[in-house]
Homo-oligomer: A and B are copies of this chain.
Amino acid sequence: MKKMDKRELIITATCDLIAENGLQATPISMVAKEACCGAGTIYRYFETKEALIEDVYLTLMERFSDACLKDVDENASVREQLNTVWLNLYHYMREVPRDALLLDQLSVAPAIRGELQEQGKRRLKEKIDPLFARGREEGIIKDIPDDVLGVFVYGGISTLLRTDRNAPCAVPTEVTDDMLLSICWGAIEKRD
């Protein structure tokens, strides 16, 4: 019980520092200081720095999945459910830029290899893939593989937010929920 506290303290400290300074600019010594412990202590909980980073990534993806799937009503229409997921994604990354930055940093880290990335995305995919399948059955989604459509929309939203973060002085355009959904659905919706 007490021990888990310290473990999580280290993970939280690492999240904060990587989001703020970047991965290669957060030495273990800095994590130790932020977590109020000695450098050696970190190695009681994590075999190597790489293992720590992996744990940080999985923790992040857990939060991320929770946020995206919040309030998704399994009984609602495909359209409503996807709307919820996309708006969740958009608002989460906008309101918790720390996690969005962290994700950017970790997604090019050598420690995060293919298999781990799969594991991180699994929960999200398991929920969303069936939604696309249903949408296709109902004839409201383009005849293009789900992965292509889903990844395209995810990439669009996350890149939009990243660009906004990088240019804080640019037009502070308010992207409304309606605008966002119009773009997302336009991309995947089948039209006759």
- List chain A positions with a Cβ less than 8 A from chain B: 22-25, 104-105, 108, 110, 114, 117-118, 142, 144-145, 147-149, 151-160, 162-163, 166-167, 170-171, 173, 175, 179, 182-184, 186-189, 191
Residue of B nearest to A105 (CB): B108
Docked Cα-Cα span, A118 to B25, in Å, equals 24
Asked if B108 and A108 sit within 8 Å, CB to CB, the answer is: yes
Asked if B114 and A108 sit within 8 Å, CB to CB, the answer is: no
Asked if A166 and B117 sit within 8 Å, CB to CB, the answer is: yes
Docked Cα-Cα span, A117 to B169, in Å, equals 14
Asked if B187 and A142 sit within 8 Å, CB to CB, the answer is: no
Asked if B183 and A160 sit within 8 Å, CB to CB, the answer is: no
Residue of B nearest to A110 (CB): B22
User: A151-B163, A191-B191 provided; 7 other pairs, C-beta below 8 A?
Assistant: A117-B166, A144-B183, A149-B183, A154-B159, A156-B187, A183-B188, A186-B188
A145 contacts across to B, CB distance below 8 A? 171, 173
How many copies of this kind of chain does the complex include? Answer: 2
The one of B22, B154, B183 that contacts A187, using a Cβ cutoff of 8 Å: B183
Docked Cα-Cα span, A184 to B159, in Å, equals 15
The verdict on A159 contacting B151 (CB below 8 Å), with A108-B108, A114-B166 known, is yes
Asked if A110 and B25 sit within 8 Å, CB to CB, the answer is: yes
Q: For residue A185, give the distance in angstroms from its CB to the closest CB of chain B.
A: 8
The one of B118, B155, B189 that contacts A160, using a Cβ cutoff of 8 Å: B155
A155 contacts across to B, CB distance below 8 A? 155-160, 162-163
A154 contacts across to B, CB distance below 8 A? 159
The one of B114, B118, B142 that contacts A182, using a Cβ cutoff of 8 Å: B142
Docked Cα-Cα span, A147 to B159, in Å, equals 11
Asked if B157 and A152 sit within 8 Å, CB to CB, the answer is: yes
Q: Lowest 6 CB-CB distances: which A-B pairs, in order?
A: A155-B159, A152-B156, A187-B187, A186-B186, A156-B156, A155-B155
